[in-house]
Amino acid sequence: MTQLNTQFGKVAVLLGGHSAEREVSLKSGQAVLNALQNAGVDAIAFDPKEQPLWQLKELGIERVFIALHGRGGEDGTIQGALEFMGLPYTGSNVLGSALAMDKIRCKHLFKSAGLSTAPYAVVDSKHGFDTTAIMNELKKVMVKPSHEGSSIGMAQANNAQELDAALAEAFKFDSQVLVEQWITGREFTITVLGDDVQPVIEMTTPNGFYDYQAKYQSNTTQYHCPADLSASDTEHLQAMALAAFELVGASGWGRVDAMQDADGNFYLLEVNTVPGMTEKSLVPMAAKANGASFEQLVVRILEQTL
């Protein structure tokens, strides 16, 4: 029988929610809940879509593990509500969550701080834009809604016609869209846990890029952990990731995505403050390569609320 872990009191795992990433969040939250319960923590599942948030107090909850992805859970909204209620929670604070969720403002920050990131344009549905001019400047692009995760609403475009179609789709999710110059090369992700940077993971997929299907549904996606990089490239990438994580005000735990082009240059893509925690997820993979089980990882993240 598992010994009861009383140091945390009663814990709510927030999962599900209202965002476009609800299905992924339900899986992440269930995995986290199982791990906490296996570690003897008095933990329950709590879905803000099904229950009003003030019930956390009624239920005697003392701290919260946030496993909500996307809007409402990863953008500072739930963080602000929990701070107002006086409930400690995992991960980044209001500012760090809100900034990291905003791909466009992250790009502005990276650029102003001198961190390497691909050239880009910002398109707003409320203002006029010239797709031909954008394509002339950037040649081939990746289109990303500013506030979505899990590659939702993302598409690549090779010409103005394709860009028009990609923007029309992206505008279903966000009025502001990031149009980023396409980088042909290797894709990496770097987990930050407290002040520690975990082993770098490289993702390879036949999909063209690491999209929603490659992340959650594909059996052809391959993960290399630690990534096949020189010691100096690994250190450079980890330092770049930590700098980006701290720059946007993120804290606790998270993931930074990056790419390397054919010339060996690294480029920051984005910061994720509540990355996936499913059995296929990257943070547990990096922690495992560093000697921590999924259960130990989840408890370590929760310990940051003490």
Q: Burial level of 214, CB count in 10 A (0-12/13-18/19+)?
A: buried
Q: Work out the percent of the chain whose per-residue pLDDT is above 90.
A: 83
The predicted structure's pLDDT at residue 148: 64
Q: Are 159 and 138 in contact (CB under 8 A)?
A: no
What is the domain extent for residue 235? 184-303
pLDDT of residue 153: 78
Cis before 226 (ω within 30): yes
Lowest mean pLDDT among 27-31, 62-66, 170-174, 297-301: 170-174
Q: Within a domain: residue 95? A: no
**What's the CATH code of the domain at 141?**
3.30.1490.20
The pLDDT assigned to 134 comes to: 96
How far apart CA 266 and CA 141 sit, in angstroms, is 17
Q: Which residues contact 113 (CB under 8 A, 6 or more apart)?
A: 243, 247
| Res. 151 pLDDT band, cuts 50 70 90 | low
Within a domain: 63: yes
Is 98 domain-assigned?
Answer: no
Residue 20: what pLDDT? Answer: 82
Residues 219 and 295 in one domain: yes
Of the ranges 71-85, 189-203, 217-231, 277-291, which one carries the lowest mean pLDDT score? 217-231
Kindly state whether residue 209 falls inside one of the protein's structural domains.
Answer: yes
Q: Are residues 173 and 192 in the same domain?
A: no
Domain count, the chain: 3
Pick out the residues of the known binding site.
257, 270, 272
Shared-domain flag, residues 172 and 207: no
Identify the band that residue 35 occupies on the pLDDT scale cut at 50, 70 and 90: very high
**pLDDT, tens digit, 9 for 90 and up, residues 191-241:** 999 999 999 999 987 655 555 454 445 566 789 999 999 999 999 999 999
pLDDT exceeds 80 at position 113: yes
pLDDT band at residue 137 using 50, 70 and 90 as cut-offs = very high
pLDDT at 278: 82
Q: Is residue 265 part of a domain?
A: yes
Position of tokens 């990257």?
Answer: 282
- Classify residue 109: in a domain, yes or no: no
Mean pLDDT, all residues of the chain: 92
Query: 262 pLDDT exceeds 70?
Result: yes
194 and 295 part of one domain: yes
Kindly state the helix (H) or strand (E) to which residue 185 belongs, with its residue range.
Answer: strand 185-193
pLDDT in tens, 38-55: 999 999 999 999 999 999
The tens digit of pLDDT for each residue in 9-25 reads 999 999 999 988 899 99
Known binding positions for Mg(2+) = 257, 270, 272
Q: What residues are annotated to the active site?
A: 21, 150, 281
Does residue 114 fall inside a structural domain?
no
Spell out the residues 6+ positions from residue 137 whose beta carbon is closer than 8 angstroms to its own.
119, 121
Least confident of 101-115, 125-139, 150-164, 229-243: 150-164
Looking at residue 174, its pLDDT comes to 87
